[in-house]
Structure formats: structure tokens, C-alpha cells
Amino acid sequence: MVERALRAGAEVLVAAYPRDVLRAEAALSSFSGAVAITAVDATSEDDLRALEDKLRSRWGYLDGALHAIAFAPRAALAGIVDVPAADVEVAVRTSVWTYAAFGRLMHRLAPRSGASLVGLDFDSARAWPVYNWMGPCKAALRSLNGYLARDLGPAGVRANLIAAGPLRTRAASGIPDFEVLVERWRCQAPLAWSPEDASVVADAACFLLSDLSRAITGEILHVDGGFHAMATCLEQPGG
């Protein structure tokens, strides 16, 4: 995503969870000097205020933001019924509430010419054999996106989600039986889907962040090889 954004002429600030800052710096070392990195716990009001101050000091405004934040404790990923309320609260605050927090940030920092908020989503229209409490979190994210589009629109801020197919990211490594999703895409997506190729999602995000999408808000853009449009597997059993 960073590479695509820089290629499009963007100035980029990456907000990484505090314990992941060194990992982010290593991953972005090839862009040294072109990308700023700061530590932010997006569930912390204090950290969000500090981030706003940093953005005001550096640029004075914010043209766009990509919300790529999701987390659920292991128990919330392993089941639904017997999950402690505290674990569900962590999942919802991290994966859903932070999107609203980014919306508040965009509302305060958007230039008069308009701005764009983009979030990363996953198909929540059905129950999966894996994913568990992250499914309801993504359903809540979709509902929230519509309300943000409503409330941010008068300020010229767009709010859209990208419903992506499964990608082998660090976050995906924490989902039990993630390969079940990959196999499902292999047999049901009409377009070939590579779980290693995040560039297709990055390109869609750049489109939604750009002025090319200036009349689009409240939308869920599926970047999943067409999986969502198919009723069932396209291959014969054993194919």
C-alpha cells in the first residue's frame, strides 16, 4: 500500500501499534526518508489526540486515511458461545470503534476540498467455519460505514470499505484454520485469487483515496476475484 501511495504522489505517515514500530521500520526501510512512522494505539484516546497534534504540526490537514486495524483475542477467534465478554469488548473496540475514531480525525482535519476514509473489510454476510467473533465485528463495521458516510459527508469526507479476499498477512496468521478460506476462494472465485498478492487491494485503496472516487461514499468495494457474486463452488467435487 505504501509503495502504491508514494507512486501516486502521496506523503505518507504510518501509524503502528507501539510494539510493532521496529517491525514497521524494518518493513519500510527501503522507503527511508519518504515515509514517517509513529507509534499509536488506536484504542487509546490519548494516543489519538497525540496523533492529531502530530498531523496538525506536520501538514495541518489530512487528505485521506486507511484504517487497517483489526484484532480479536484468541478465544474470540476460536468460538462464539463460550467467549468471555471482555474478549468480545476488546475485539469490537479494536476492530470497529477505531474506525469511528478515524472518522472523527478525518472530520477535524479534512481540507475544504474534501477527503477520504477507507477501511478494510471481509465478507460478513454469512457465517464461516472459521473467523468467529471477527464476523460480527465486520458486520458492525459495515453498518458503521454507512453512518460515517452520513455524518462525514457534509464536511466533504467520504467513507468506504474494501471487502478483500483472504491475504496471507501477519493478521491472517492469527486466524485458526485460515487456509480453509484460501481453499474456498480457490474453488469459488471466477478470477484467479492469490493470497500473496496484496497489490490488488492496495490499488483499490489508492482509487478510493483519490479524487477519482470523489462521488463515492457509503460503498463496499469487493476486491475478491468475484467470490461474493457466486452462489457456490465453481468446481466439481474433487476438481
Nearby residues of 232 by Cβ (< 8 Å), 6 or more positions away: 188
Q: Which residues are catalytic?
A: 131, 138
Four-point Cα dihedral 176, 234, 221, 197, nearest 10: 60
Q: How many CA atoms lie within 13 A of 11 on its CB side?
A: 9
Closest C-alpha to 220, from 127, 128, 118: 118
Question: Contact, 222 vs 228, CB < 8 A?
Answer: yes
Pairing of the two strands 64-67 and 35-39:
unpaired
